[in-house]
Structures are given as structure tokens and as C-alpha cells.
A and B are shown apart, each in its own frame.
Chain A
């Protein structure tokens, strides 16, 4: 998989109150590593307003914010678990909201391999045990290892 996920792309227990702050925090390491263009967070935010990405997963919620491939330099993801859940609108049902505690910011381009990657993310999201481990991670490194092992490893 050529989607990069460096150790500083994982943030555990991020203490923020708004979507805007989440996107800023998640985009920052991607910008610093040259994976996305400098204004990535603002494009993700405006896309989220038009096409929300909240996914209700029973007892918890996850979001997969992203934006158009033209803002991506090289494919990457950054992941955060939130100290306090933040409301996102539900994908396909923008009148509904979900309390999100896991955010996967996806910076994918158009390649077919990246659709395969998205399938992995979806399968990951449906794994209750894994989601639970993610939320219970206590350090950035724990989170990093969990995501690397399960999402990026050869399963």
C-alpha cells in the first residue's frame, strides 16, 4: 500500500471542541510532510459541509473526512481519537448527526488502489473489537501501532 501513515499522523485523545480544530490538527502533519497542499484543512471543512462523512457505528461514531484529489500531493491518512466526541452530520442523511470519537482524515488520489484502501477502512470501521481498542488507546504510539497493524498490514 503506498498510502503513507507516519507516526506523527496518529493523535490519541485529541482535546478539541470543533470540527474545524480537528481538521487543522489532522492536516498539520500531512502538510508538514508534503503529502497535501497547505490549505487542505479548509477544503476538507468545506466538503464536509456539503457532503458529510459521519458514520454511526452503534455505540460510537466515526468520520472519514476528505476532499477532492487535486489537493493531495501524495496519498496519506491521519487518524485521531477524540477526548470528547464532536458532532458530525451523517453521510447521506445530512439532517442527522452522530457523536464522533474516531476520525480518519483520508488524503487519497484517484488511483484504483485507493478504492481498495477505502474498502479496508470500511472493513476496519465494522470491526467492533478493533474500534474499541482504538478508542481505548492511551498514547499516540499505541494508536499508531494499532492502525498500522490492522489497516495497513497484510490481512
Chain B
């Protein structure tokens, strides 16, 4: 099975997406889940979304994408982080 690819998105592509990526990557590593991660700004999404299996975003994605989008906000606020993580694990296990 090909390695899953996760795209982290925020408005600028360098700020909140980095913080979220580090937290999610740490969790998934601890769970023994292997995947590739990339980080982009919102504008890049339409052209690259199809290269990924999951998008984790701290900004709304106002585009039509086939991939599931999970909010990265819980990883900033600490609220709902467990549920968000479960959702991510489910998508990646698919």
C-alpha cells in the first residue's frame, strides 16, 4: 500500500500549519503510522490537493477538493485534539 500523504494548510503556509504539522506528526509517529507530510499556503491547494490523501487546515478551504479536510484548530487550542486525531488516523488507515 502506498504511503499516505498529508497536506498541512494555513493562510501563509508557514505559521499555524507548522505548529499543527509538528503536533500531528508527533502523534502519528507515536502511533507507528508512516506517512509523508507537506505544508502549503491556501493558494496552492487547488493545484496540488489531488497529490494528497488528507488535508489538515487552520483556514477554511473554499475550493472543491476530493480529499477529506480536517480542521487543525484543535491542535492549537487543545480542545477536541483527541477526536481530530482519531479522524486523521481513520482516514490514513483507509
- Residues on A with C-beta less than 8 A from B71 are 92-93
- Residues on A with C-beta less than 8 A from B12 are 68
Majority SS at the chain B contact face: loop
- Contact call B19/A55, Cβ cutoff below 8 A: no
- Contact call B58/A122, Cβ cutoff below 8 A: no
A42 to B72, CA, bound (A): 27
Chain B residue total in the interface (Cβ 8 A): 19
Flag whether A21 is at the interface (Cβ < 8 A).
no
Q: Contacts A118-B16, A119-B19 known; A91 to B59 CB distance under 8 Å?
A: yes
A104 to B72, CA, bound (A): 20
A68 to B12, CA, bound (A): 8
A108 to B15, CA, bound (A): 10
- Contact call A91/B78, Cβ cutoff below 8 A: no
Flag whether B44 is at the interface (Cβ < 8 A).
no
B→A interface (CB under 8 Å):
11-12, 14-16, 18-19, 22, 57-60, 71-73, 76-79
